[in-house]
Amino acid sequence: MTTHAVLAGRIPVTRVTPALPDDRWRPKAYAGEVVPFRATVFREGHDQVGAMLVLTSPSGQVRHERMSPLAAGTDRWEAQALLDEQGVWHWHVTGFDDEIATWRHDAALKVDAGVDTELMFEIGARLMDRAVAEKSRPLATRRRLTALAAGLRDTGTSVAERRALVDAPLLDVFTAWPLARLTSDSPEHEILVERRRAGVGSWYEFFPRSEGARRLKDGTWKSGTFRTAAKRLDGVAAMGFDVVYLPPIHPIGVTNRKGRNNTLDPGPNDPGSPWAIGAASGGHDAVHPDLGTLADFRAFVRRAAALGIEIALDLALQASPDHPWVAEHPDWFTQLPDGTIRYAENPPKKYQDIYPVNFDDDPEGIFEEVLRVVRHWVKQGVRIFRVDNPHTKPLTFWERLIAAVNADDPDVVFLAEAFTRPAMMQALAMVGFQQSYSYFTWRNTKQELEEFLTSVSQDTADFMRPNLFVNTPDILTEYLQFGGPAAFTVRATIAATAAPTWGVYSGFELFESVARPGAEEAIDNEKYEFKPRDFAAAEKEGRSLALYLGILNGIRNAHPALGQLRNIRFHASEDDSVLVYSKHLDGRFTPDGRDDTVIVVANVDPHSVRETTVHLDLAAIGLTPGTPFEVEDLVTGHRWDWGDANYVRLDAFTRPAHILHVVRGRDD
């Protein structure tokens, strides 16, 4: 007779999360993230069950978190846990027969109905006796449980007095330490917790060659350098950004160099695209001579660190025709029948100044070289890499590279710039990328934003962290082109508050909105020319969003709820252009022990004034429905009394959004 292995367990535990769509890879979080752990736990019949999350930290500390039921009838259970230690955590869920809960449920019904009254009291007393027999329970608790058992058996007192013991607060001791039997454990699982910067940060992108660049009397340009670019860091720090992302800083090729606005006819002073990497002076491990030396770059990194800023460096695996790789490793590129090398294309776009790397003929050689390049920059103080177009390279390459780098230095972060199909974008995150660009740039309506933000905060949050960049050198959306300053304000507000990581490309704060005809990118694109900006003059003349960006980053730093990805909840408004969402963090997870709740109300129509009623789900922000409370606008300081339904007026031309903090609620 064949014996079948029984896998279900006496109290089945199934569908545990966090989990990935493919169990070859493990879920991940970042230090300080509050992660919801869920499981389906059930049993036959009508007796009550319970569920316990068992977490083991990388240092070996074991935590038990009692799970709570979610929607009635679903058998889904949840416990939220703050993962505060970097490294690999182990966890499982234990399901058990919750005899205390079953007794309390049955006793309440039967005693109130006058059925089996004494029997129910005796059953409860015997459960207390069993708990007292567990010597590992605190002595004081055991003495109180002994007294409770005696009270249940005391026929000299009224039924009503003994019935009250069924609801005694003392029985709450069984929440954290249940009287459990018939236990079943789920399989052991892992979750990788990475450093906090892997999930939380405010990014600012600028071209160092433009900072301090100046046109000479003869019409030629003198490039900015790392030394002049370092002066811009103070302004970036003043706006509260903590990551500065630099496009490629390497030598730029001359062959097929692009001119202004991506033309094929460059002038003698056109600097070329930084992404056309490689020249006689070096390749991916060198710095452009116009920017300075490697020592100058290290000084730039140190200056940024002194201001609380990390440097993110572009990693673009492609080569100019002049790159040393082309001569030394011709098999790294695709040779065409006419003897030429295939250049990069993304029809209808053509990149005649770039050769894409072909990973088929010498994958091992390419891997070793790229690993060497990354380690080289790590030695210079870089811990963040923004990877250009990773979706055009093999997934296996990235999985191997990121694993090798993080084995040496788990603090290194890779951001995937992959505006591509969901399958590839998500797979890149699963195999190791700590952050991902996303479709946020093109999600502008209320419905689009609700669907997108729900997806990234719920559906893919176990493995993909979105970086909500509002613009890039390549992307200037119609919303920004035609929405005026209100559009810039709204997009920054949503990006900074809806997810823990966001970013802007230099010029955003100056409302740069003129596109190259027929393209979704800025005219006079900085990719192909020097573009010095007078930020101080713009601020003085009121043509800058810099002050507001600083306010946004200050709000982010002050409110821990905004440092979480998975806690966004949407609320209703009676206007299709008024987006409403909240970020709530329970006091047990905040530094001061108080609940932190931020409510954002944004008019996503940058051309109008909107008046509407906002309907809040108060339970989602930790309040009892019907409870009045006070909110403070964190930008203006104005305060209002709010409740379930609230009138708002948002003028796109003056104040298109509210960022509100709940200042009076259940804790007051």
Cα(382)–Cα(575) distance, integer angstroms: 46
Question: Peptide bond preceding 169: is omega within 30 degrees of 0, i.e. cis?
Answer: no
Q: What's the DSSP call for residue 172?
A: G
Catalytic residue (choose from 417, 462, 509, 529): 417
Whether 389 has a binding-site annotation, put simply, is yes
Cα(31)–Cα(34) distance, integer angstroms: 9
Cα(621)–Cα(665) distance, integer angstroms: 10
Neighbours of 262 (CB within 10 A): 18
388 has catalytic annotation: yes
Whether 222 has a binding-site annotation, put simply, is no
Contact 625, 600 (CB under 8 A): no
Pairing relationship of beta strands 76-83 and 68-69 according to DSSP bridges: antiparallel
Cα(89)–Cα(360) distance, integer angstroms: 36
Partner residues linked to 362 by β-bridges:
none
Partner residues linked to 468 by β-bridges:
502
Whether 353 has a binding-site annotation, put simply, is yes
Q: What's the DSSP call for residue 523?
A: S
Contact 313, 386 (CB under 8 A): yes
Tokens 């974008």 belong to which residue? 425
Tokens of 444: 């502008």
Buried b (16+ CB within 10 A) or exposed e, 266-299: beeebbbbbbbbbbeebbbbbbbebbbeeebbee
Q: From the centroid of its chain, how far is CA 569?
A: 15
Contact 528, 260 (CB under 8 A): yes
Query: Could you tell me the sign of the dihedral formed by the alpha carbons of 204, 208, 209, 213, in that order?
Result: positive
Contact 65, 79 (CB under 8 A): yes
Tokens of 191: 């979750």
Catalytic residue (choose from 388, 512, 521, 529): 388
Annotated binding site: 258, 318, 353, 389, 527-528
Catalytic residues: 388, 417
Binding positions for alpha-maltose 1-phosphate are: 258, 318, 353, 389, 527-528
